[in-house]
Chains A and B, each alone.
Chain A
């Protein structure tokens, strides 16, 4: 089965639960062959999608305003971006919209965008109506889910949806999120000429 490495970048305000989402996603995977990662800011998890294995390389970013200028270093070469906001904080949803704009302008072409409204477990304090967010996501053709890292709601679904939207391997050659294999074959053919 072909293994493809997919770089996924996490964006969103500080405190919206980016790392918790990843932690939740990765925690139930137990693969003794893979060394545990250093910390929650970079994590990997491999899932099967149809007849491919997708190894997600999840790059967390610092969400503070002061580090905003650093984000391009992180989302460069990403196959997908998960933009997280906190449903109890209207501001974080506005920040999300800015991220979408920035990705449009400077992000990799064809990047798969997923919007995650986190902390749906405390909907009493909700400030962002689900419908507004859903409509916005539809308007930009993004994946949309409301998640709860705390209660493990919809976490896997985000990644499943991303897997579905990643172009199939043959067509993916030109996108930045390509697997290693294609690159290898290219160099291989070069070697065969000699």
Chain B
């Protein structure tokens, strides 16, 4: 007890039970403070020498020589050169914080504990050696820093295991995520304001608790009301869903929960008054306060509670000051469903204490709170998962009760991504469920799509894709009938209707579009080949590629992407093609558009506003340097498979522009540009030509025979054959050399047939070449005129 500093908010916490002499980890850390914060003779250099080359996270805190207060945290990064980094510690009478961080702690031990669990601004988490765990008040006072370091070095992993399995209660941390009021308002004043962190909530199953004050401010405590989703009937769920559907405000979840509260806590007008008051606490050894979900409610010392109340109050009026009346309030809340005092996400110690890989110390951020996917815990709370059994009964009970809180906080902590993943996982699970309606529908969908495309006479092109689209829509609607999906969706409190729809839509893609995307690509390719688009794209790409942006219609002074940006754009196009979800494709496409726009304004001296007049030409310019075939396929894919409601916004606009630019290229009439055909165009024409030539050769043979008949019989016949063979060979070679030649050979062939004699052959070819220059054009124009008719 003697080691407690006066500013320690936990001084009077009675949770070091009378019968137990075991200390909590923060106390243990505190009790051996001399080992990691050795005081006077130790300075920065000495600390560096001691920590240098030890395991990642080994640390020492040295005191400022003038103030004798902790001033510098020296942490070994564990990298090869054993580098040691310094972090300034700012300390006042009441708070300790790292100067780069806004997290404040009421004492140094809490700071150390916090940074041993999550690294925040540090490169690695601090490592606390295992022996600290066995420290009691008697043996904690005579430790040498070197001893600490050595232990850190050898026993770090053991520490984690031991703690995990040991039956003692483990101290969790409540950190307040600190965003100042000004930042929250998005105002101009961005001076950060520090908020006190409270680190002293605990439970028997050792939960790590994190509070986002912003979240509290927004939602107060509505979301705290326990509501086990698993207990809700599907009927109730769909009622909730309907409410949500009809609601236009963001606070639908809150109202739903409030409604729920009125069920469980009828006639309790001031139910949330105590919950608004920062951290609530009670006595752990009081059986009446030991809730049935295994949470031991702790009481904060009065001054600590006051200080927290004060600091939050100064930031936000939505927190009434703590009055110390929390305990009676809490008791009232004890039935029928106990109130957890935590506005928190709960993270089981088993989850947040996997042994870190010492081989790659910089991998330690996996222990971070943010990256600790909340969803991994939620898995346990899913009604379904519970059937699989859980070894930890108290955690199990807890799980059901805090599920909705987890969802809410998960999002607040930036767990949106994991929530989305979770949704997708759930959809995958549903699609694999035997005899499930959704699974059946998915199977039908896949069968239908694969069959449709396989049938060459079947529906092709956009009609086929539109059919796919409508099937996706009905599958999505089916998902809303599943309570487990609705339960997850409730976590997304800040999203509106269409955002929720698009979320569900995206989660659907993995089971529907992923298996068939390649097939759909093939179908689009076939369809676009047969309508000639791909051919025109390719030939016009060559014709237009040399044009500058102003020749494509843009302003002469507009900037264009440099080669590096262009290279990056190509990579993005590639990854866009690899993605099967049309929504994700659109996201990638928007990134490309953004970088084009950036180039337009960055690479120019002009200050004018560039609108569509310039963007479309610039995009066209970029497209001409990209794989147009693949882009056309991806564009069709997005255009037809994206939920139509998504087409009005920015994604829809730029997708339309992409489509328009491709259309412009494919329908371009290169009348003026044909005289200089590029090599690629020549090759593609060559391909085209060869097919015709082979065909023509056959008919020519017949003609030959006829002509030969008119001449002397046997000798001429044989010589003609030879000559013909020779001329074929020659022709073939020429085709290989130059498609222009080949092209003209085609045009000249009737003449050649007429001329007949082998001797004339070279001359004919020369004639053909002479004419070549003029004829390429006429040939090409013929092609485009056909196209014009199509249009």
Binding site for B on A (CB under 8 A): 1-3, 5, 7, 10, 14-15, 18-20, 22-23, 32-33, 37-42, 44, 57, 59-64, 66-67, 69-70, 73-74, 77, 180-181, 183-185, 187-188, 190-192, 194
Given the known A-B contacts A42-B653, A60-B612, A187-B477, are A181 and B663 also in contact in the complex, defined by CB atoms under 8 Å? Answer: no
> Does A73 contact B656, Cβ atoms closer than 8 Å?
yes
- Could you give 16 example pairs across A and B, Cβ below 8 Å? A20-B609, A23-B609, A23-B611, A38-B597, A38-B650, A41-B612, A41-B616, A44-B650, A62-B553, A62-B612, A67-B616, A77-B647, A180-B498, A181-B497, A188-B245, A191-B480
Whether A40 contacts B611 by the Cβ 8 Å rule is: yes
Given A59-B653, A63-B613, A188-B246, A39 contacting B593 (CB threshold 8 A):
yes
Structural contact, B663 and A39, CB atoms closer than 8 A = no
Q: In the bound complex, how far is the Cα of B610 from the Cα of A191, in angstroms? A: 45
Number of A-B contacts (CB under 8 A): 121
Bound form: Cα–Cα A106–B656 in Å: 18
What's the Cα separation between A38 and B612 when bound, in Å?
A: 12
A15–B556 CA distance with the chains assembled, in angstroms:
13
Residues of A within 8 A of B278 (CB): none
Chain A: which residue is nearest B480 at the CB level? Answer: A191
Whether, in the assembled complex, B654 has its beta carbon less than 8 Å from a beta carbon of chain A, the answer is: yes
B648 touches A5 (CB 8 A): yes
B446 at interface, CB cutoff 8 A? no
Which of these, B238, B242, B611, contacts A60 with CB under 8 Å? B611
Q: How far is the CA of A188 from the CA of B617 in the complex (A)?
A: 42
Alpha-carbon distance between A190 and B242 when the two chains are bound, in angstroms? 11
A90 to B480 Cα, complex, angstroms: 56
Is the CB–CB distance between B248 and A18 below 8 Å? Answer: no
Q: List residues of B whose CB falls within 8 A of some A CB.
A: 186, 238, 241-242, 245-246, 248, 477, 480-481, 497-498, 553, 590, 593-594, 597, 600, 608-613, 615-617, 645, 647-650, 653-654, 656-657, 659-660, 663-664, 667
Q: Which of B248, B590, B615, B653 has the most CB of A within 10 A?
A: B653
A64 and B645 in contact, given A3-B248, A191-B481, A194-B481 (Cβ under 8 angstroms): no
Smallest distance from the beta carbon of B243 to chain A beta carbons, Å?
A: 11
Instruction: Compute how far the CA of A185 lies from the CA of B649 in the bound complex, rounded to whole angstroms.
Output: 20
Best-surrounded residue of B238, B248, B608, B609 (most CB of chain A within 10 A): B609
CB pair B594–A183 under 8 Å, yes or no, is no
Give the chain B neighbours of A69 by CB distance below 8 A.
Answer: 663, 667
**Residue of chain A at shortest CB distance from B608:** A20
Q: B-side binding surface: helix, strand, loop or mixed?
A: helix
Complex-state Cα separation, A108 to B597, whole angstroms: 30
The 3 closest A-B pairs by CB, nearest first: A19-B611, A32-B186, A39-B597
Task: Compute how far the CA of A67 lies from the CA of B650 in the bound complex, rounded to whole angstroms.
Answer: 20
The minimal Cβ–Cβ distance linking A92 to chain B, given in whole angstroms, is 13
The CA-CA distance from A62 to B619 in the complex, in Å, is 12
Given contacts A42-B650, A67-B553, contact A22 B597 (CB under 8 A): no
Taking the closest CB of chain A, its distance from the CB of B466, in whole angstroms, is 15
In contact, B654 and A38 (Cβ under 8 angstroms): yes
- Inside 8 A of B611's CB, which chain A residues have their CB? 10, 18-20, 22-23, 39-41, 60
- Contacting pair A70 B660 (CB below 8 A): yes
* B610/A62 in contact, CB under 8 A: no
Complex Cα–Cα for A191 and B660 (A)? 36
Check A14/B613 contact, CB under 8 A, given A3-B248, A73-B659. yes
**By the criterion CB–CB under 8 Å, are A180 and B497 in contact?**
yes
Query: When the two chains form their complex, are residues A39 and B615 in contact, meaning their CB atoms are under 8 A apart?
Result: yes
Knowing that A3-B248, A180-B645, A184-B498 touch, tell me 14 more A-B residue pairs with CB under 8 angstroms. Answer: A5-B648, A10-B611, A20-B611, A22-B611, A32-B186, A39-B615, A40-B611, A41-B611, A41-B653, A42-B654, A62-B553, A69-B663, A70-B616, A187-B477
Closest approach, in angstroms, between the C-beta of A82 and any C-beta of chain B? Answer: 13
**Whole-angstrom distance between the Cβ of A117 and the nearest chain B Cβ:** 18
Per the bound structure, the CA–CA distance linking A14 and B614 in Å amounts to 9
A178 nearest CB across to chain B (Å): 11
> How far is B650's CA from A7's CA once the two chains are assembled, in angstroms?
11
Complex Cα spacing A145 to B371, Å: 55
Q: Select from chain A the residue with minimum beta-carbon distance to B552.
A: A66
Q: Is the CB of A73 within 8 A of B477?
A: no
Query: B609, A38: Cβ atoms under 8 Å?
Result: no
Contact of A38 among B594, B617, B667 (CB under 8 A): B594
Contact status B613-A73, CB under 8 Å = no
Q: Residue A73 contacts which of B481, B594, B597, B660 (CB distance < 8 angstroms)? A: B660
Complex: how many Å from CA A63 to CA B653? 16
User: Which residues does chain B contribute within 8 Å of A190, judged by CB atoms?
Assistant: 477
A38 to B650, CA, bound (A): 8
Which residues of A are found within 8 Å of B615, using beta-carbon distances? Answer: 39, 41, 62
Residues on B with C-beta less than 8 A from A57 are: 648-649, 653
Pick the contact of B648 from A7, A15, A23 — CB < 8 Å?
A7
* Residues A19 and B609 in contact, CB atoms below 8 Å apart: yes
Residues of A within 8 A of B477 (CB): 187, 190-191
**Is the CB–CB distance between A66 and B553 below 8 Å?**
yes
B656 to chain A: which residues have CB within 8 Å?
59, 73-74
**Do A188 and B645 touch (CB < 8 A)?**
no
A62 neighbours in B (Cβ, 8 Å):
553, 612-613, 615-617
- Write the nearest CB–CB distance from B268 to chain A, whole angstroms: 32
CB-CB under 8 A from B654, the residues of chain A are 38, 42
Q: Report B-chain residues with C-beta under 8 Å of the C-beta of A3.
A: 248
Cα–Cα, bound, A33→B609 (Å): 24
Given A32-B186, A191-B481, also A19-B613 (CB < 8 A): yes
How close is A160's CB to chain B, nearest CB, in angstroms? 21
CB distance from B723 to the nearest CB of A (A): 51
Cβ-closest chain B residue relative to A5? B648
* CA of A63 to CA of B613, assembled, Å: 6
Q: CB-nearest residue of chain B relative to A59?
A: B653
B663 proximity list for chain A (CB < 8 A): 69-70, 73
How far, in angstroms, from A5 to B497 measured CA to CA in the complex? 13
Shortest distance between the CB of A193 and any CB in chain B (Å): 11
- Kindly report which residue of chain A lies nearest to residue B611, judged by CB atoms: A19
| Cα-based distance from A187 to B186 in the complex (angstroms) | 36
Which chain A residues lie closer than 8 Å to B594 at the CB level? Answer: 38-39
B480 partner residues in chain A, CB cutoff 8 A: 191
Measured between alpha carbons, how far is A49 from B608 in the docked complex, in Å? 31
Q: Is the CB of B248 within 8 A of A70?
A: no
What is the CA–CA distance of A183 and B433 in the complex, to the nearest angstrom? 31
